[in-house]
Amino acid sequence: MERYAFRMKLKPGFEAEYKKRHNEIWPEMVRVLKEAGISHYSIFLDEASGDLFAFLNREEGHRMDDLPKLEVVRKWWQWNAPLMDVKPDNEPVSIALKEMFYLA
């Protein structure tokens, strides 16, 4: 199992809506994430900066890189695009983070 973390940016004033949308995540979105080998997915907000810190576990041989090809993922990105910094195709701008410490 690999631990993976990344950072995204939430636009000011959208904290409550972002949380609401993720509390009501579409069942088909959950399904494709799990089928891609993703588990223990958490997103945290730094309220001072608007930075979103995401952490997840992904299985060896995961298919996370295939997720952008799926229609439900593209729809999810489009629906959430007004809330955060995104690329032209609505994929959230994300920056992979380097692990510096782990305590099991």
Q: What does the pLDDT look like over 50-63, one tens digit per residue? A: 999 999 999 999 99
Helix pair 27-35, 71-80: axis angle to 10 deg: 120
| Residue labelled with tokens 């439900």 | 72
87's tokens:
């690329």
Can you give the pLDDT at residue 22? 96
pTM across the whole model: 0.88
**How confident is residue 71, by pLDDT bands cut at 50, 70 and 90?**
very high
CATH code: domain 2-96 is 3.30.70.100
Can you give the pLDDT at residue 30? 97
Question: How does the average pLDDT of the chain come out, rounded?
Answer: 96
Q: Count CB-CB contacts under 10 A for residue 94.
A: 16
Question: What does the pLDDT average to over 35-60?
Answer: 96
Residue 83 contacts residue 18 (beta carbons within 8 Å): yes
Catalytic residues: 22
